[in-house]
Amino acid sequence: MVNKKVISVILAAGKGTRMKSSLPKVLHTIFNKPLLGYVLEAVNSTGYVSDNFVIVGHEAQKVEEFVRNNYSFVKCILQMPQRGTGDAVNRAVPFLKNFDGYVIVVCGDTPLITGETLKSFIEYHENSNADLTVMSAIFDNPQNYGRIIRDENNKFIAIVEEKDATDEQKAVKEVNAGLYCISWKSVNEAFACLKNNNAQGEYYLTDIVKWAVLKGLNVQSYVLNDNSEIFGINSKQNLAQAFKIMNKKSLERLMSEGVQITDADSVYISPETTIGADTIVLPNVYISGKNEIGKNCKIGPFAHIRDGAVIGNNVRIGNFVEIKKSVIKDNTNVSHLSYIGDSELGSHVNIGAGTITANYNPITKVKSKTIIKDGANTGSNSVLVAPVTINEMASIGAGSVITKDVEEYALAVTRSPVKIISNWVKRKIEQYVGGNK
């Protein structure tokens, strides 16, 4: 536990030129969630942070819209023009008057940072009685990172950027990870003292370290255990790398919890998804968003589960099946080539191959619900046009289009009678052979 209030400042104003995109860097996605979303959720999962400030700049309206639509506990602050990380945090200073707690500064393009690490970071800061704590990491090859410089007594005295470092300083393997925990009452004056007398004409956040050392304050570094957590996204190549790192961690967690993943090189599962023990995930399965999948299920191959799925125990999701925002209860089978969206399926339901829940009206833009109750089943190539309810033990004939509720134990069929024309093929062959080609 920490004894002071904690506020976060998240840096999300940059353009991300190397992304080569009209979309702001922090709104690029992994498993359909923007990078900024991962950071906000990590910060707030610490249990310590009471308020959040997101510094926006490039395409500020788009970033603010994402924040407003998804997070009620965040205030956006505009940085315009963007004049460096020190200037970015300085924009929050007017909102922190008389604040006597800790401010953590986090980059909005580091989606792999975890709440556990941030929680330990804040606790380390308090337990060290620090005025300023910098998160650091140890790299065998620290190229392109600012180095943590210590004196002969191992006291943290400076951060030196690589371009300014001597050969001796470049040999240092401890680097600045770019995250800070600040005892605000002690350090806030540093932001008024920042200078932009550098080639970029920017105000660097790293300069608060120099200020704090000159003031004789207690400056500490918290060494990160897992260096991948500070992996920053600056290009589409970085985005792909982060996706793979996140997925690998997710699969390893699930397998350690008893999930069988037959081919970890072809399966992708979001970190928010939980899966029960003894469930088997077959090759080429893609699961994004937040989902709950029970025990002893079988998923795939080639299945796609898209956010908001709650799947019970002993459920079979077949190959080339897509599930979206649906509840599927125990002992139900969804056979191959089916789409189940915005639906509730009871237990012991059998969904025949090629069944579609038609949940979206493109004119009204409304998505409606399909309810299929216990023991019901659908024949192959059925279309259930929502809103519609298939009651207990009802059966849908293959090839039917169902537009109204079906009572329990009933059979619903919408199918033209079969018409058989005898010798039709034979006559066609005779016409062809006879010269009428």
Which candidate in 28, 58, 125, 336 is catalytic? 336
Q: Is the dihedral of CA 264, 268, 274, 280 positive or negative?
A: negative
Q: Which two tokens stand for residue 326?
A: 């649906």
Tell me the three-class secondary structure of 86-101, residue by residue: HHHHHCCHHHHCCCCC
Q: What is the pTM of this model?
A: 0.92
Q: State the pLDDT at residue 435.
A: 57
Instruction: Examine the pLDDT at 123 and tell me if it is beyond 80.
Output: yes
For 149-169, how does the pLDDT look when each residue is reduced to its tens digit (9 = 90+)? 998 888 899 898 888 889 999
How confident is residue 437, by pLDDT bands cut at 50, 70 and 90? low
- How many CA within 13 A on the CB side of residue 409? 0
How confident is residue 300, by pLDDT bands cut at 50, 70 and 90? very high
Instruction: Examine the pLDDT at 436 and tell me if it is beyond 60.
Output: no
Q: State the pLDDT at residue 163.
A: 84
Q: State the pLDDT at residue 342.
A: 98
Three-state DSSP state, 366: strand
Rounded distance between C-alpha atoms, residue 316 and residue 305, angstroms: 13
- Respond yes or no: is residue 304 known to be catalytic: no
Structural contact between residues 340 and 323, judged by C-beta atoms closer than 8 angstroms? yes
Rounded distance between C-alpha atoms, residue 384 and residue 358, angstroms: 6
Question: Does the bond joining 417 to the residue before it have cis omega, within 30 degrees of 0?
Answer: no
- 48 residue type, one letter: Y
For 311-349, how does the pLDDT look when each residue is reduced to its tens digit (9 = 90+)? 999 999 999 999 999 999 999 999 999 999 999 999 999
Rounded distance between C-alpha atoms, residue 75 and residue 126, angstroms: 25
For 203-256, how does the pLDDT look when each residue is reduced to its tens digit (9 = 90+)? 999 999 999 999 999 999 999 999 999 999 999 999 999 999 999 999 999 999
Q: Which two tokens stand for residue 97?
A: 């008057």
Backbone angles phi and psi of 40, in degrees to 5: -60, -40
Rounded distance between C-alpha atoms, residue 423 and residue 419, angstroms: 13
Arithmetic mean of pLDDT over the chain: 95
Which runs of consecutive H residues, i.e. helices, occur in 91-226?
Answer: 115-127, 167-170, 184-187, 207-214
Structural contact between residues 345 and 337, judged by C-beta atoms closer than 8 angstroms? no
Average pLDDT over residues 274-285: 98
Delineate the domains of the chain, giving CATH numbers in brackets: 6-230 (3.90.550.10), 236-412 (2.160.10.10)
Q: State the pLDDT at residue 336.
A: 96
Residue 75 makes CB contacts below 8 A (sequence gap 6+) with 51, 52, 53, 54, 95
Which runs of consecutive H residues, i.e. helices, occur in 145-229?
Answer: 167-170, 184-187, 207-214
How confident is residue 198, by pLDDT bands cut at 50, 70 and 90? confident
How confident is residue 197, by pLDDT bands cut at 50, 70 and 90? confident
Rounded distance between C-alpha atoms, residue 374 and residue 348, angstroms: 6
Structural contact between residues 370 and 353, judged by C-beta atoms closer than 8 angstroms? no
Residue that wins the pLDDT comparison between 99 and 144: 99
Residue written as tokens 């005295």?
157
How confident is residue 112, by pLDDT bands cut at 50, 70 and 90? very high
How confident is residue 143, by pLDDT bands cut at 50, 70 and 90? confident
Burial (CB < 10 A; 0-12, 13-18, 19+), residue 256, is exposed
Average pLDDT over residues 40-50: 97
The β-bridge relationship of strands 411-412 and 395-396 is parallel
Rounded distance between C-alpha atoms, residue 196 and residue 204, angstroms: 8
Rounded distance between C-alpha atoms, residue 42 and residue 118, angstroms: 8
For 392-425, how does the pLDDT look when each residue is reduced to its tens digit (9 = 90+)? 999 999 999 999 999 999 999 998 888 999 999 9
What spatial distance separates the first Cα and last Cα of the chain, rounded to whole Å?
87
Helix (H) or strand (E) holding 246: helix 236-256
For 371-393, how does the pLDDT look when each residue is reduced to its tens digit (9 = 90+)? 999 999 999 999 999 999 999 99
